[in-house]
Each structure stands twice: as C-alpha cells, then as structure tokens.
Amino acid sequence: MSANGEASTSSGGAGSGGSVLIELYKFEGYGDISCHGGQGHDNNGGGAAGRVAVHCLTQIVYDGTFTVYGGSGRNDAQSAGGGTVYLQDIRKSKVYKRLLLDNKNRPHDKYATIDEPFDKHYFDEVHLLNQASLHLANDNRNTVLDIYTMIGDGTGLLHMHANQKLFAEFRPNVRNAFLSGVNFIVDYKSEIIFPSITYIYGKGVLLTGMSESRSVVINGRLTGIADLIMGFETLLYFDEHAHTAGVDVAASSSGSVTYADIDAERTITFGTIDLRSYSEIKYVPDQTVLLQVARIDSRFKSVISAESIKVVDWHIPAGGWSYDHILGHLPAP
C-alpha cells in the first residue's frame, strides 16, 4: 500500500507523501505501507514524507515494514522532513499507543512535528531511528509529552521548545533506569524529567551553532536525575540557563511532577556522576557555574570543562583529579 510523493522530473520540487489511515479489527501479515517523499531533481528539493496511522481493535501482529522518510535532494539542505507512523491497538483491555520514526539518515534538522490542539500527548512507545528528529510545534503553549518507553539507535533526536515538558520514561513509583540511545535538546524555559538513574547513550547531533557533536543540550531545566552515567564518547552540554531540579517521588505521578527543590540557573546538582571513557560534560563559555555532586568517577580521557567552575564534591576517587579531568576551579580534596 503506498501514497508516495512523485520524484521531480523538471524544475519543480518533488511531491510530498500522502496520508494513510487504516481502521480494522485485526492486523497481521507482511508487506509494506509507504508514504515517503519524492526525490528531488537537479537543484530541487525532495518531498516531505507523509503519515501512516493504524487503529486496530486487537493487538497488532503485522510484521511488515513502514516507509515514511523524506525525499532526498541535491544535498542535505535540500532533503525533506520525515513522516510518522502511529499505531494504536488494544492490549489487556487498554489502548496502547506507538509512534515510529525512521528518516533513513536524513539531516537532524529535518523534523517530524507533533502539532495537535490538545496540550498533553502520551505514548507507550516512541521509536527514533536513523537520525529521525521529533519535536512539538514551537508555539509557546504549555504542552506535555509523556513517553513510557523510548527506543533508539543513538542517532535520533527529540527537541523540546519553550513551555514544553518531556517525561522520558519517568515512573515515580518504580525504580527504573533510562537506557535508551536518544539525543535531546532542551530549549530555554523547557524541561525534561528523567528517572533517578539515567544513562546518556546518544551518539550526538551537530546542528547550526554547535561547535561539536552533542548528545544532550540543556538550556532549561533538567529534573529528576540522582545518578548520571555518561556513555562512551557522549557529551552533555549545559547552556546559559541550564539548571537542575529534584523530585518528590511520593507526591509525583505519571505525567506530573512535584519538586523537592529547584536550583538557580547555572547550578547543577547530582548525587553521583560516572564519566565513561572519552565522555564530557561541557558548560557554556563566559559563565561561572556551580556543580554540586556527592561523588565523581572518571574513566580514560573523560572531561568536565567550563570557563569557571566551582565543584562541591564529597568524594574524589583515589588518584584524585587533574586539570586534564576538570578545567576550572577545583576545591581541595
């Protein structure tokens, strides 16, 4: 089944993919459902991908594929944005919602957009593969995105804008850890809430204005993390307005958070930080920042860097730190 955009054969751009809506009782088998964008011709741009939605009254057991990537252009700038696959079925008498994105390694700035009139979006699963990028419409509305499980290959991106809040596998009544390979950008006045144990495994994105590839960029509020583990060759970047907040777990619920404390801007608080080999925590230039942490463990060539940084640390591992590890102001051990 296809509703693909046509490739460009003249001076015009390629066609965009259409939309496919399937409503049925039972969905199984193989095949391909496609609404990808058309390929651009010569100097013309590719066509944007369309959208696929499947609403099924029983659990979906379809083992085929979905193809919803944006069309290619002459270069990355001319490539088009990806589409989405929304799957809704019934499991254990409850609605189960999945959002699947795979943009075939198109550039990260080719976003798929959630633009709906309601203010809270919930998904049981969100899949971000092959540099798929997802964001909510940047319209200054107070909007919540609550994702129970995220699945990524380290290349996908989720970008939050002002007045938007993302719950990334936050389950206040369960001691879980965030392990998914996804990159995040949190703009000024936006927020991301993680489980207390969070692993950073995103392989990084390099967008306009960035001097290096970054796995997580925080220019708003980073909430909920007690134990932070930076994966191999990952980078966490704290921008000018970045700060952290603690969670009152007993008073919080799914999609809603009660704060135990909120730090001032440029103040970052964790219980522990584990820096794996070649990982880095980097702060915006020309700012003095405060890092409060009970314990820091570092591996080979891991770095914390800032123009000026005060580290309040209760435990520095045997062997201590050198300026190869932390660039800035260190307290006495």
| Residue 112 maps to a domain | no
**For 77, which DSSP code?**
G
Would the pLDDT of 325 be above 60? no
pLDDT: which is higher, 86 or 312: 86
Q: How confident is the model at residue 316 (pLDDT cuts 50, 70, 90)?
A: low
Based on the domain organization, do 220 and 320 belong to the same domain?
Answer: yes
Secondary structure class of 89 (helix, strand, coil): strand
SS3 assignment, position 207:
coil
**In the predicted structure, residue 211 carries a pLDDT above the cut 80:** yes
pLDDT of residue 44: 77
Give a yes or no: residue 139 inside a domain.
Answer: yes
**Residues 283 and 170 reside in one and the same domain:** yes
Could you tell me the pTM of the whole model? 0.90
Q: Is residue 64 part of a domain?
A: yes
Q: Does residue 149 form part of some domain?
A: yes
- Closest to 121 in 3D by CA, of 107, 132, 137: 137
Look at phi and psi of residue 63 and say left if phi exceeds 0, alpha if psi is from -120 to 50, else beta. alpha
In this structure, are 178 and 301 located in the same domain?
yes
Instruction: Give the whole-angstrom CA distance, residue 54 versus residue 304.
Output: 46
The phi and psi torsions of 225 (rounded to 5 degrees) equal -80, 125
The answer to whether residue 83 is domain-embedded is yes
Q: Same domain for 122 and 12?
A: no
In a domain, 42, yes or no: yes
Residue 64 belongs to domain spanning: 1-107
Q: What span, in angstroms and rounded, lies between the C-alpha atoms of 225 and 270?
A: 7
pLDDT at residue number 315:
59
Q: Identify whether residues 193 and 88 lie together within a single domain.
A: no
User: 83 with 212, same domain?
Assistant: no
Secondary structure, 3-state, 274-299: EECCCCEEEECCCCEEEEEEEEEEEC
Residue 190 within a domain: yes
For residue 235, give the 3-state DSSP assignment.
strand
Beta bridge partners of 56: 24
pLDDT at 41: 74
Q: Same structural domain for residues 43 and 62?
A: yes
Strand partners, 167: 146, 193
Q: Does the pLDDT value for residue 318 go beyond 80?
A: no
- Determine what percent of the chain is predicted with pLDDT higher than 90: 68
Query: Is position 183 within any domain?
Result: yes
Question: Given a cut of 80, is residue 67 above it in pLDDT?
Answer: yes
Q: Mark whether 44 and 95 lie in a shared domain.
A: yes
Q: What integer pLDDT is reported at residue 323 of this predicted model? A: 45
E runs forming strands in 161-266: 164-168, 177-178, 181-186, 191-193, 197-200, 216-218, 221-223, 227-230, 235-238, 243-247, 259-262
Instruction: Label residue 182 exposed, middle or buried (CB < 10 Å: 0-12, 13-18, 19+).
Output: buried
Examine the domain organization and report whether 100 and 142 are in the same domain: no
Is residue 109 over pLDDT 80? yes
Give the confidence band of 330 by pLDDT, cuts at 50, 70, 90.
very low
Q: Who's near 3: CB < 8 A, 6+ residues apart?
A: 17, 18, 19, 20, 34, 35, 50
Q: What is the CA radius of gyration of the chain?
A: 21
Where does the pLDDT of residue 273 fall: very low under 50, low under 70, confident under 90, or very high at 90 and above?
Answer: very high
Q: Tally Cβ neighbours within 10 Å of residue 92.
A: 6
Listed residue (189, 185, 178, 188) closest to 224, CA to CA: 178
For 175-193, write each residue's pLDDT tens digit.
899 999 999 999 999 999 9
Do both 304 and 160 map to the same domain?
yes
The total domain count for the chain is 2
Tokens of 146: 């609550």
Residue 279: CB atoms within 10 A of its CB come to: 25
